Structure 1
Amino acid sequence: MSGADGVVLVDKTAGMTSHDVVARVRRLAGTRKVGHAGTLDPMATGLLLLGVNRATRLLTYLVGLDKTYRATVRLGQGTVTDDAEGEVTSAPGVRDVEEQALHDAVAGLTGAIEQVPSAVSAIKVDGRRSYARVRAGEEVELAARPVTVHAFEVLATRPATAADGTAVLDVDVEVVCSSGTYVRALARDLGAALGSAGHLTALRRTRVGAFDVAEAASLEAMADGVPMLDTSDVARRVLAARELTEAETAEVRYGRGLAPSGRDGVVAAFAPDGHVVALLTDRGDRARPVLVLDPA
Protein backbone atom coordinates (compact mmCIF):
# COMPACT_ATOMS: atom_id res chain seq x y z
CA MET A 1 0.00 0.00 0.00
CA SER A 2 2.85 2.42 0.80
CA GLY A 3 3.76 2.75 -2.88
CA ALA A 4 0.22 3.35 -4.17
CA ASP A 5 -0.75 6.71 -5.65
CA GLY A 6 -4.26 8.09 -5.79
CA VAL A 7 -6.98 10.28 -4.37
CA VAL A 8 -8.96 9.04 -1.39
CA LEU A 9 -12.56 10.15 -0.86
CA VAL A 10 -13.29 10.17 2.87
CA ASP A 11 -16.72 10.63 4.46
CA LYS A 12 -15.58 12.47 7.58
CA THR A 13 -17.45 12.05 10.84
CA ALA A 14 -18.15 14.92 13.24
CA GLY A 15 -15.59 15.69 15.93
CA MET A 16 -12.48 15.07 13.83
CA THR A 17 -10.24 17.73 12.36
CA SER A 18 -9.08 17.38 8.79
CA HIS A 19 -5.56 16.88 10.19
CA ASP A 20 -6.89 13.96 12.25
CA VAL A 21 -8.17 12.35 9.05
CA VAL A 22 -4.86 12.89 7.26
CA ALA A 23 -2.97 11.31 10.19
CA ARG A 24 -5.28 8.27 10.18
CA VAL A 25 -4.95 7.74 6.42
CA ARG A 26 -1.15 8.03 6.71
CA ARG A 27 -1.22 5.09 9.09
CA LEU A 28 -3.74 3.09 7.06
CA ALA A 29 -1.92 3.68 3.77
CA GLY A 30 1.55 3.18 5.26
CA THR A 31 2.98 6.45 3.95
CA ARG A 32 3.74 9.93 5.28
CA LYS A 33 2.92 11.55 1.95
CA VAL A 34 -0.76 12.37 2.39
CA GLY A 35 -2.40 15.78 2.06
CA HIS A 36 -5.91 17.19 1.77
CA ALA A 37 -7.65 19.47 -0.73
CA GLY A 38 -9.47 21.84 1.63
CA THR A 39 -10.40 21.42 5.28
CA LEU A 40 -13.69 20.68 6.99
CA ASP A 41 -14.47 22.11 10.43
CA PRO A 42 -14.53 19.53 13.24
CA MET A 43 -18.33 19.77 13.60
CA ALA A 44 -18.82 19.22 9.86
CA THR A 45 -19.24 15.85 8.18
CA GLY A 46 -18.93 14.71 4.61
CA LEU A 47 -16.55 14.70 1.71
CA LEU A 48 -12.85 15.28 2.24
CA LEU A 49 -10.42 14.72 -0.65
CA LEU A 50 -6.97 13.37 0.20
CA GLY A 51 -4.00 12.83 -2.10
CA VAL A 52 -1.63 9.92 -1.43
CA ASN A 53 2.01 9.83 -2.59
CA ARG A 54 2.41 11.32 -6.09
CA ALA A 55 -1.28 12.25 -6.21
CA THR A 56 -0.57 14.97 -3.64
CA ARG A 57 0.78 16.94 -6.60
CA LEU A 58 -2.76 17.07 -8.02
CA LEU A 59 -4.27 18.62 -4.90
CA THR A 60 -3.53 22.14 -6.15
CA TYR A 61 -6.08 21.52 -8.91
CA LEU A 62 -8.73 20.17 -6.52
CA VAL A 63 -8.64 22.89 -3.85
CA GLY A 64 -10.42 25.48 -5.99
CA LEU A 65 -13.35 23.31 -7.10
CA ASP A 66 -16.92 24.36 -6.35
CA LYS A 67 -18.57 22.65 -3.39
CA THR A 68 -22.07 21.63 -2.31
CA TYR A 69 -23.25 21.56 1.31
CA ARG A 70 -26.35 20.56 3.24
CA ALA A 71 -26.66 22.65 6.38
CA THR A 72 -28.99 23.71 9.19
CA VAL A 73 -29.07 27.40 10.12
CA ARG A 74 -30.49 28.38 13.51
CA LEU A 75 -32.08 31.83 13.30
CA GLY A 76 -32.47 33.74 16.54
CA GLN A 77 -29.06 33.17 18.11
CA GLY A 78 -25.53 34.22 17.19
CA THR A 79 -22.32 32.64 18.42
CA VAL A 80 -18.67 33.70 18.57
CA THR A 81 -17.75 31.07 15.95
CA ASP A 82 -20.92 31.44 13.82
CA ASP A 83 -21.58 27.76 14.50
CA ALA A 84 -22.72 25.52 17.36
CA GLU A 85 -19.15 25.07 18.64
CA GLY A 86 -18.97 28.60 20.05
CA GLU A 87 -20.65 30.31 22.96
CA VAL A 88 -23.85 32.25 22.31
CA THR A 89 -23.10 35.96 22.01
CA SER A 90 -26.58 37.24 21.10
CA ALA A 91 -30.06 35.79 21.41
CA PRO A 92 -32.63 38.19 19.95
CA GLY A 93 -34.81 35.22 18.99
CA VAL A 94 -37.28 34.97 16.15
CA ARG A 95 -41.02 34.66 16.28
CA ASP A 96 -42.50 34.52 12.83
CA VAL A 97 -40.44 34.68 9.65
CA GLU A 98 -42.59 35.08 6.58
CA GLU A 99 -41.72 32.77 3.71
CA GLN A 100 -41.23 35.71 1.34
CA ALA A 101 -38.91 37.49 3.78
CA LEU A 102 -36.79 34.33 4.12
CA HIS A 103 -36.75 33.91 0.34
CA ASP A 104 -35.66 37.52 -0.17
CA ALA A 105 -32.91 37.26 2.46
CA VAL A 106 -31.56 34.08 0.87
CA ALA A 107 -31.70 35.69 -2.58
CA GLY A 108 -29.63 38.60 -1.25
CA LEU A 109 -26.87 36.14 -0.30
CA THR A 110 -26.88 34.40 -3.69
CA GLY A 111 -24.63 35.16 -6.64
CA ALA A 112 -21.36 37.09 -6.59
CA ILE A 113 -21.15 38.59 -3.10
CA GLU A 114 -18.61 40.19 -0.78
CA GLN A 115 -18.40 37.99 2.32
CA VAL A 116 -16.72 38.79 5.62
CA PRO A 117 -15.25 35.46 6.80
CA SER A 118 -15.97 34.15 10.28
CA ALA A 119 -13.55 35.68 12.78
CA VAL A 120 -12.82 32.20 14.14
CA SER A 121 -11.16 31.01 10.94
CA ALA A 122 -7.70 30.00 9.77
CA ILE A 123 -7.14 33.25 7.89
CA LYS A 124 -3.91 34.91 8.97
CA VAL A 125 -3.90 38.43 10.39
CA ASP A 126 -0.39 39.88 10.68
CA GLY A 127 1.08 36.37 10.65
CA ARG A 128 -1.27 34.83 13.24
CA ARG A 129 -4.38 32.75 12.62
CA SER A 130 -7.56 34.73 13.17
CA TYR A 131 -9.00 32.03 15.45
CA ALA A 132 -5.90 32.24 17.69
CA ARG A 133 -6.36 35.99 18.08
CA VAL A 134 -10.07 35.60 18.92
CA ARG A 135 -9.34 32.89 21.49
CA ALA A 136 -6.73 35.18 23.05
CA GLY A 137 -9.47 37.74 23.61
CA GLU A 138 -8.62 40.06 20.73
CA GLU A 139 -11.23 41.79 18.58
CA VAL A 140 -10.69 40.69 14.99
CA GLU A 141 -12.23 42.33 11.94
CA LEU A 142 -11.54 40.54 8.68
CA ALA A 143 -11.87 42.21 5.30
CA ALA A 144 -14.67 41.13 3.00
CA ARG A 145 -13.65 38.98 0.07
CA PRO A 146 -15.44 38.05 -3.16
CA VAL A 147 -17.10 34.64 -3.27
CA THR A 148 -19.83 33.16 -5.43
CA VAL A 149 -22.90 31.41 -4.09
CA HIS A 150 -24.24 29.61 -7.15
CA ALA A 151 -27.35 28.33 -5.36
CA PHE A 152 -28.85 28.82 -1.89
CA GLU A 153 -32.04 26.82 -1.45
CA VAL A 154 -34.31 26.53 1.59
CA LEU A 155 -35.36 22.90 2.03
CA ALA A 156 -37.37 23.05 5.27
CA THR A 157 -38.05 25.20 8.34
CA ARG A 158 -38.82 24.15 11.94
CA PRO A 159 -39.71 26.44 14.86
CA ALA A 160 -37.84 25.38 18.00
CA THR A 161 -36.81 26.52 21.45
CA ALA A 162 -33.11 26.78 22.27
CA ALA A 163 -31.64 25.44 25.52
CA ASP A 164 -31.73 28.93 27.04
CA GLY A 165 -35.42 29.31 26.17
CA THR A 166 -34.92 31.52 23.11
CA ALA A 167 -37.47 31.09 20.34
CA VAL A 168 -35.53 30.08 17.22
CA LEU A 169 -36.19 28.88 13.69
CA ASP A 170 -34.11 26.02 12.28
CA VAL A 171 -33.71 26.28 8.51
CA ASP A 172 -32.40 23.38 6.43
CA VAL A 173 -30.58 24.62 3.32
CA GLU A 174 -28.50 23.43 0.40
CA VAL A 175 -25.65 25.67 -0.75
CA VAL A 176 -23.59 25.40 -3.93
CA CYS A 177 -20.64 27.77 -3.74
CA SER A 178 -17.15 28.66 -4.85
CA SER A 179 -14.11 27.55 -2.92
CA GLY A 180 -13.39 29.90 -0.02
CA THR A 181 -17.03 30.49 0.87
CA TYR A 182 -17.84 30.20 4.58
CA VAL A 183 -21.26 28.59 5.08
CA ARG A 184 -20.98 29.67 8.74
CA ALA A 185 -20.80 33.26 7.54
CA LEU A 186 -23.87 32.72 5.34
CA ALA A 187 -25.75 31.55 8.45
CA ARG A 188 -24.60 34.65 10.37
CA ASP A 189 -25.53 36.99 7.52
CA LEU A 190 -28.91 35.34 6.94
CA GLY A 191 -29.82 36.04 10.55
CA ALA A 192 -28.67 39.65 10.24
CA ALA A 193 -30.63 40.13 7.00
CA LEU A 194 -33.78 39.08 8.86
CA GLY A 195 -33.14 41.52 11.70
CA SER A 196 -32.02 38.84 14.13
CA ALA A 197 -28.95 36.60 14.43
CA GLY A 198 -27.95 33.22 13.04
CA HIS A 199 -25.46 30.42 13.32
CA LEU A 200 -24.84 26.98 11.87
CA THR A 201 -25.92 23.87 13.81
CA ALA A 202 -25.11 21.22 11.18
CA LEU A 203 -22.96 21.08 8.06
CA ARG A 204 -22.34 18.26 5.60
CA ARG A 205 -20.27 18.57 2.42
CA THR A 206 -21.87 16.42 -0.25
CA ARG A 207 -19.85 17.33 -3.35
CA VAL A 208 -16.48 18.73 -4.39
CA GLY A 209 -16.34 19.39 -8.12
CA ALA A 210 -17.08 16.09 -9.88
CA PHE A 211 -16.66 14.04 -6.68
CA ASP A 212 -19.72 13.02 -4.65
CA VAL A 213 -19.90 11.89 -1.03
CA ALA A 214 -21.77 8.79 -2.24
CA GLU A 215 -18.40 7.57 -3.59
CA ALA A 216 -16.64 8.15 -0.27
CA ALA A 217 -15.87 5.68 2.50
CA SER A 218 -15.63 6.16 6.25
CA LEU A 219 -12.28 5.72 7.99
CA GLU A 220 -13.72 2.66 9.75
CA ALA A 221 -14.44 1.05 6.39
CA MET A 222 -10.77 1.52 5.41
CA ALA A 223 -9.42 -0.82 8.08
CA ASP A 224 -8.87 -3.53 5.45
CA GLY A 225 -7.53 -1.22 2.76
CA VAL A 226 -7.67 2.37 1.53
CA PRO A 227 -9.66 2.72 -1.72
CA MET A 228 -8.07 5.21 -4.10
CA LEU A 229 -9.11 6.83 -7.32
CA ASP A 230 -6.38 6.51 -9.93
CA THR A 231 -4.59 9.77 -10.75
CA SER A 232 -5.59 9.39 -14.40
CA ASP A 233 -9.27 9.12 -13.45
CA VAL A 234 -8.97 12.18 -11.21
CA ALA A 235 -7.20 14.25 -13.87
CA ARG A 236 -9.81 13.32 -16.47
CA ARG A 237 -12.63 14.37 -14.15
CA VAL A 238 -11.10 17.68 -13.14
CA LEU A 239 -9.28 18.98 -16.22
CA ALA A 240 -9.74 19.22 -19.96
CA ALA A 241 -8.03 16.28 -21.67
CA ARG A 242 -5.48 16.16 -24.48
CA GLU A 243 -4.75 12.78 -26.06
CA LEU A 244 -1.09 12.40 -27.04
CA THR A 245 0.63 10.32 -29.69
CA GLU A 246 3.50 8.03 -28.68
CA ALA A 247 5.98 10.63 -29.96
CA GLU A 248 4.32 13.45 -28.03
CA THR A 249 4.25 11.30 -24.91
CA ALA A 250 8.00 10.77 -25.15
CA GLU A 251 8.60 14.51 -25.54
CA VAL A 252 6.44 15.43 -22.56
CA ARG A 253 8.04 12.82 -20.33
CA TYR A 254 11.35 14.64 -20.90
CA GLY A 255 9.68 17.97 -20.00
CA ARG A 256 9.67 19.27 -23.56
CA GLY A 257 6.95 21.41 -25.09
CA LEU A 258 4.41 20.49 -27.75
CA ALA A 259 2.26 22.31 -30.26
CA PRO A 260 -0.27 24.47 -28.37
CA SER A 261 -3.43 22.86 -27.04
CA GLY A 262 -5.52 25.90 -27.96
CA ARG A 263 -7.28 25.92 -24.59
CA ASP A 264 -7.22 28.26 -21.64
CA GLY A 265 -5.83 27.02 -18.37
CA VAL A 266 -4.27 23.68 -17.48
CA VAL A 267 -4.85 20.60 -19.65
CA ALA A 268 -4.24 16.98 -18.65
CA ALA A 269 -2.16 15.13 -21.25
CA PHE A 270 -2.82 11.39 -21.66
CA ALA A 271 -0.63 8.75 -23.26
CA PRO A 272 -2.18 6.42 -25.88
CA ASP A 273 -2.72 3.77 -23.16
CA GLY A 274 -4.93 6.25 -21.23
CA HIS A 275 -2.71 7.15 -18.28
CA VAL A 276 -2.00 10.77 -17.43
CA VAL A 277 1.56 11.82 -18.25
CA ALA A 278 1.62 15.53 -17.48
CA LEU A 279 -0.32 18.73 -17.04
CA LEU A 280 0.22 21.32 -19.77
CA THR A 281 -0.51 24.98 -20.29
CA ASP A 282 -0.13 27.08 -23.43
CA ARG A 283 2.66 29.64 -23.26
CA GLY A 284 3.08 31.54 -26.45
CA ASP A 285 3.33 29.13 -29.36
CA ARG A 286 3.99 26.02 -27.23
CA ALA A 287 2.16 23.85 -24.71
CA ARG A 288 4.58 23.57 -21.79
CA PRO A 289 4.48 21.01 -18.96
CA VAL A 290 3.63 22.55 -15.59
CA LEU A 291 3.76 19.16 -13.91
CA VAL A 292 5.22 15.90 -15.27
CA LEU A 293 3.53 13.03 -13.46
CA ASP A 294 5.27 10.24 -15.40
CA PRO A 295 8.83 11.43 -16.12
CA ALA A 296 11.22 9.56 -18.36
Structure 2
Amino acid sequence: MKIFYNKKDLRAYLGTSRSDSETVGFVPTMGALHEGHLSLIEKGLSQNALVVVSIFVNPTQFNNAEDLKNYPRTLERDVTLLKTLSKDKIVVYAPTVEDIYSDLVISESFSYDGLEHEMEGKFRAGHFDGVGTIVKRLLDIVEPESAYFGEKDFQQLMIIKKLAEKHNIPVKIVGCKIHREVDGLAMSSRNERLKPEYRNAAPFIYKTLKSAKQKFGTKSANKVTEWVINQFANHGLLELEYFTIADEKTLKPIKRRSNTKKYRAFIAVFADDIRLIDNIALK
Protein backbone atom coordinates (compact mmCIF):
# COMPACT_ATOMS: atom_id res chain seq x y z
CA MET A 1 0.00 0.00 0.00
CA LYS A 2 1.34 3.39 -1.00
CA ILE A 3 1.65 5.88 1.88
CA PHE A 4 2.63 9.50 1.25
CA TYR A 5 3.61 12.03 3.89
CA ASN A 6 3.79 15.12 1.68
CA LYS A 7 1.63 16.55 -1.08
CA LYS A 8 4.44 16.80 -3.63
CA ASP A 9 5.02 13.05 -3.69
CA LEU A 10 1.29 12.28 -3.61
CA ARG A 11 0.52 14.55 -6.56
CA ALA A 12 3.44 13.13 -8.54
CA TYR A 13 2.16 9.59 -7.97
CA LEU A 14 -1.43 10.47 -8.87
CA GLY A 15 -0.25 12.27 -11.99
CA THR A 16 1.52 9.18 -13.31
CA SER A 17 -0.80 6.43 -12.05
CA ARG A 18 -4.21 7.63 -13.23
CA SER A 19 -5.28 7.34 -16.83
CA ASP A 20 -7.76 9.60 -18.60
CA SER A 21 -10.45 6.94 -18.29
CA GLU A 22 -9.94 6.28 -14.57
CA THR A 23 -11.44 8.25 -11.70
CA VAL A 24 -10.08 8.94 -8.23
CA GLY A 25 -12.25 8.96 -5.14
CA PHE A 26 -11.32 10.66 -1.89
CA VAL A 27 -12.19 10.00 1.75
CA PRO A 28 -10.79 12.56 4.19
CA THR A 29 -10.43 11.29 7.77
CA MET A 30 -8.76 12.21 11.03
CA GLY A 31 -7.72 8.60 11.55
CA ALA A 32 -8.73 6.20 14.33
CA LEU A 33 -10.60 4.42 11.56
CA HIS A 34 -13.70 2.33 12.24
CA GLU A 35 -16.37 0.52 10.24
CA GLY A 36 -18.05 3.81 9.41
CA HIS A 37 -14.93 5.06 7.65
CA LEU A 38 -14.48 1.72 5.92
CA SER A 39 -18.02 1.91 4.52
CA LEU A 40 -17.18 5.28 2.92
CA ILE A 41 -14.01 3.83 1.43
CA GLU A 42 -15.87 0.77 0.12
CA LYS A 43 -18.35 3.11 -1.57
CA GLY A 44 -15.44 4.96 -3.13
CA LEU A 45 -13.81 1.72 -4.30
CA SER A 46 -17.06 0.63 -5.96
CA GLN A 47 -17.15 3.83 -8.04
CA ASN A 48 -13.49 4.60 -8.74
CA ALA A 49 -10.27 2.95 -9.90
CA LEU A 50 -8.37 4.44 -6.95
CA VAL A 51 -9.30 5.91 -3.56
CA VAL A 52 -7.11 8.34 -1.65
CA VAL A 53 -7.65 8.24 2.12
CA SER A 54 -6.19 11.16 4.05
CA ILE A 55 -5.34 10.66 7.71
CA PHE A 56 -4.78 14.02 9.34
CA VAL A 57 -5.86 15.39 12.72
CA ASN A 58 -6.62 18.93 11.66
CA PRO A 59 -5.77 21.47 14.38
CA THR A 60 -7.87 24.32 12.98
CA GLN A 61 -11.21 22.57 13.49
CA PHE A 62 -10.73 22.03 17.22
CA ASN A 63 -11.90 24.80 19.52
CA ASN A 64 -10.80 22.77 22.53
CA ALA A 65 -7.03 22.30 22.91
CA GLU A 66 -7.49 19.32 25.22
CA ASP A 67 -9.74 17.61 22.66
CA LEU A 68 -7.06 18.07 20.00
CA LYS A 69 -4.38 16.72 22.32
CA ASN A 70 -6.41 13.64 23.26
CA TYR A 71 -7.70 12.81 19.80
CA PRO A 72 -6.53 9.24 18.98
CA ARG A 73 -3.67 8.90 16.50
CA THR A 74 -3.37 5.31 15.28
CA LEU A 75 -1.76 5.41 11.83
CA GLU A 76 -0.23 1.92 11.91
CA ARG A 77 -3.54 0.35 12.97
CA ASP A 78 -5.41 2.42 10.39
CA VAL A 79 -3.17 1.21 7.55
CA THR A 80 -3.64 -2.40 8.67
CA LEU A 81 -7.42 -1.90 8.54
CA LEU A 82 -7.23 -0.33 5.07
CA LYS A 83 -5.28 -3.30 3.76
CA THR A 84 -8.26 -5.53 4.54
CA LEU A 85 -10.18 -3.60 1.85
CA SER A 86 -7.46 -3.32 -0.78
CA LYS A 87 -3.67 -3.19 -0.92
CA ASP A 88 -3.34 -1.66 -4.37
CA LYS A 89 -6.45 0.50 -4.93
CA ILE A 90 -6.11 2.61 -1.79
CA VAL A 91 -3.50 5.33 -1.37
CA VAL A 92 -2.88 6.85 2.07
CA TYR A 93 -2.00 10.50 2.48
CA ALA A 94 -0.78 11.14 6.04
CA PRO A 95 0.67 14.66 5.91
CA THR A 96 2.37 16.64 8.63
CA VAL A 97 0.87 19.88 9.88
CA GLU A 98 3.70 21.70 8.09
CA ASP A 99 2.89 20.02 4.78
CA ILE A 100 -0.69 21.32 4.95
CA TYR A 101 -0.21 24.70 6.60
CA SER A 102 3.49 25.58 6.15
CA ASP A 103 4.32 28.02 8.96
CA LEU A 104 0.86 29.53 9.45
CA VAL A 105 -1.61 27.22 11.20
CA ILE A 106 -4.74 29.35 10.91
CA SER A 107 -8.15 29.01 9.30
CA GLU A 108 -9.39 30.89 6.28
CA SER A 109 -12.78 32.56 6.60
CA PHE A 110 -15.71 31.07 4.71
CA SER A 111 -19.33 31.94 4.11
CA TYR A 112 -21.73 29.07 3.60
CA ASP A 113 -24.85 31.18 3.12
CA GLY A 114 -25.83 30.84 6.76
CA LEU A 115 -25.43 27.07 7.11
CA GLU A 116 -22.47 27.66 9.42
CA HIS A 117 -24.50 29.61 11.98
CA GLU A 118 -26.82 26.77 12.97
CA MET A 119 -26.33 23.99 15.53
CA GLU A 120 -22.63 23.12 15.62
CA GLY A 121 -21.78 26.64 14.53
CA LYS A 122 -23.47 28.05 17.63
CA PHE A 123 -21.51 25.86 20.00
CA ARG A 124 -18.13 25.50 18.26
CA ALA A 125 -16.84 28.93 17.27
CA GLY A 126 -14.73 28.85 14.10
CA HIS A 127 -15.22 25.13 13.62
CA PHE A 128 -16.55 25.33 10.07
CA ASP A 129 -13.83 27.76 9.03
CA GLY A 130 -11.40 25.03 10.08
CA VAL A 131 -13.38 22.39 8.21
CA GLY A 132 -13.56 24.52 5.06
CA THR A 133 -9.84 25.30 5.23
CA ILE A 134 -8.70 21.69 5.42
CA VAL A 135 -11.27 20.23 3.02
CA LYS A 136 -10.55 22.85 0.36
CA ARG A 137 -6.81 22.31 0.66
CA LEU A 138 -7.17 18.53 0.49
CA LEU A 139 -9.47 18.71 -2.53
CA ASP A 140 -6.97 21.02 -4.25
CA ILE A 141 -4.16 18.55 -3.53
CA VAL A 142 -5.93 15.30 -4.47
CA GLU A 143 -8.19 16.65 -7.26
CA PRO A 144 -10.64 13.74 -6.98
CA GLU A 145 -13.69 13.24 -9.14
CA SER A 146 -15.75 12.28 -6.07
CA ALA A 147 -15.35 12.74 -2.30
CA TYR A 148 -17.26 10.76 0.33
CA PHE A 149 -18.61 12.01 3.66
CA GLY A 150 -20.81 10.38 6.29
CA GLU A 151 -24.25 11.71 7.20
CA LYS A 152 -23.45 11.52 10.91
CA ASP A 153 -21.93 14.96 10.38
CA PHE A 154 -24.89 16.03 8.26
CA GLN A 155 -24.35 19.75 8.79
CA GLN A 156 -20.72 19.35 7.74
CA LEU A 157 -21.84 17.40 4.65
CA MET A 158 -24.16 20.24 3.61
CA ILE A 159 -21.45 22.82 4.26
CA ILE A 160 -18.91 20.93 2.15
CA LYS A 161 -21.42 20.73 -0.70
CA LYS A 162 -21.84 24.50 -0.40
CA LEU A 163 -18.05 24.95 -0.30
CA ALA A 164 -17.59 23.04 -3.55
CA GLU A 165 -20.43 24.98 -5.18
CA LYS A 166 -19.26 28.45 -4.12
CA HIS A 167 -15.60 27.85 -4.96
CA ASN A 168 -16.30 26.03 -8.23
CA ILE A 169 -14.42 22.93 -7.14
CA PRO A 170 -15.01 20.22 -9.80
CA VAL A 171 -15.88 17.38 -7.43
CA LYS A 172 -19.01 15.38 -6.65
CA ILE A 173 -19.69 15.36 -2.91
CA VAL A 174 -21.29 12.05 -1.98
CA GLY A 175 -23.19 11.63 1.30
CA CYS A 176 -23.23 8.14 2.83
CA LYS A 177 -25.61 6.78 5.45
CA ILE A 178 -24.72 6.69 9.14
CA HIS A 179 -22.93 3.54 10.21
CA ARG A 180 -24.01 2.35 13.65
CA GLU A 181 -22.93 -0.08 16.32
CA VAL A 182 -25.25 -3.04 16.98
CA ASP A 183 -26.79 -1.08 19.88
CA GLY A 184 -27.48 1.94 17.67
CA LEU A 185 -24.68 4.29 18.72
CA ALA A 186 -23.39 6.21 15.71
CA MET A 187 -19.83 5.12 14.99
CA SER A 188 -17.24 7.75 15.88
CA SER A 189 -13.54 7.78 16.66
CA ARG A 190 -14.48 9.50 19.92
CA ASN A 191 -16.34 6.37 21.06
CA GLU A 192 -12.99 4.76 21.87
CA ARG A 193 -12.49 7.31 24.65
CA LEU A 194 -15.78 6.62 26.42
CA LYS A 195 -15.52 5.14 29.92
CA PRO A 196 -17.46 1.85 30.19
CA GLU A 197 -20.46 3.30 32.04
CA TYR A 198 -20.80 6.11 29.51
CA ARG A 199 -20.38 3.73 26.58
CA ASN A 200 -23.19 1.62 28.01
CA ALA A 201 -25.39 4.71 28.38
CA ALA A 202 -24.65 6.27 24.98
CA PRO A 203 -27.14 4.20 22.89
CA PHE A 204 -29.84 6.19 24.70
CA ILE A 205 -29.07 8.99 22.22
CA TYR A 206 -30.25 7.05 19.17
CA LYS A 207 -33.11 5.48 21.10
CA THR A 208 -34.33 8.99 21.91
CA LEU A 209 -33.94 10.11 18.31
CA LYS A 210 -36.05 7.19 17.10
CA SER A 211 -38.77 8.02 19.62
CA ALA A 212 -38.61 11.70 18.61
CA LYS A 213 -39.10 10.67 14.98
CA GLN A 214 -42.19 8.67 15.91
CA LYS A 215 -43.62 11.54 17.99
CA PHE A 216 -43.00 14.04 15.19
CA GLY A 217 -45.69 12.25 13.21
CA THR A 218 -48.40 13.49 15.58
CA LYS A 219 -46.87 16.25 17.73
CA SER A 220 -45.42 19.69 17.02
CA ALA A 221 -41.68 20.25 16.84
CA ASN A 222 -41.86 22.26 20.10
CA LYS A 223 -43.60 19.41 21.91
CA VAL A 224 -41.07 16.88 20.62
CA THR A 225 -38.20 19.13 21.68
CA GLU A 226 -39.64 19.56 25.16
CA TRP A 227 -39.98 15.79 25.46
CA VAL A 228 -36.34 15.22 24.42
CA ILE A 229 -35.09 17.85 26.88
CA ASN A 230 -37.00 16.12 29.69
CA GLN A 231 -35.60 12.72 28.75
CA PHE A 232 -32.05 13.95 29.21
CA ALA A 233 -32.86 16.05 32.27
CA ASN A 234 -33.87 12.79 33.95
CA HIS A 235 -30.81 10.88 32.74
CA GLY A 236 -28.07 10.36 35.28
CA LEU A 237 -25.05 10.31 32.95
CA LEU A 238 -25.76 12.02 29.64
CA GLU A 239 -25.99 15.81 29.34
CA LEU A 240 -27.91 17.31 26.42
CA GLU A 241 -26.19 20.24 24.71
CA TYR A 242 -28.82 20.78 22.02
CA PHE A 243 -31.68 19.12 20.18
CA THR A 244 -33.04 20.76 17.04
CA ILE A 245 -35.55 19.84 14.37
CA ALA A 246 -34.47 21.64 11.22
CA ASP A 247 -35.05 21.94 7.50
CA GLU A 248 -32.60 19.57 5.77
CA LYS A 249 -31.76 22.12 3.08
CA THR A 250 -31.34 25.34 5.10
CA LEU A 251 -30.61 23.73 8.49
CA LYS A 252 -32.82 26.38 10.08
CA PRO A 253 -35.10 25.29 12.93
CA ILE A 254 -38.62 24.41 11.86
CA LYS A 255 -41.21 27.17 12.32
CA ARG A 256 -44.22 25.77 10.55
CA ARG A 257 -44.33 22.26 9.16
CA SER A 258 -44.62 21.95 5.39
CA ASN A 259 -45.36 18.83 3.35
CA THR A 260 -42.94 20.02 0.67
CA LYS A 261 -39.90 20.15 2.96
CA LYS A 262 -37.66 17.47 4.45
CA TYR A 263 -36.79 17.69 8.13
CA ARG A 264 -34.10 16.16 10.29
CA ALA A 265 -33.56 16.01 14.04
CA PHE A 266 -30.05 16.91 15.25
CA ILE A 267 -28.59 16.25 18.68
CA ALA A 268 -25.36 16.86 20.61
CA VAL A 269 -24.75 15.18 23.98
CA PHE A 270 -21.92 15.09 26.48
CA ALA A 271 -20.99 11.68 27.88
CA ASP A 272 -18.67 12.83 30.66
CA ASP A 273 -16.20 15.00 28.70
CA ILE A 274 -16.79 13.29 25.35
CA ARG A 275 -19.09 15.12 22.95
CA LEU A 276 -21.27 12.93 20.74
CA ILE A 277 -23.47 14.04 17.84
CA ASP A 278 -26.15 12.24 15.86
CA ASN A 279 -29.15 12.92 13.65
CA ILE A 280 -32.12 11.22 12.07
CA ALA A 281 -34.29 11.96 9.02
CA LEU A 282 -37.93 12.74 9.83
CA LYS A 283 -41.05 12.16 7.77
- TM-score if structure 2 supplies the norm length? 0.23
The structure carrying a bigger strand percent of its residues is: 1
The structure carrying a bigger helix percent of its residues is: 2
Q: Report which structure shows greater RCO (CA 8 Å, sep ≥6).
A: 1
Query: Highest CA radius of gyration, 1 or 2?
Result: 1
- TM-score if structure 1 supplies the norm length? 0.22
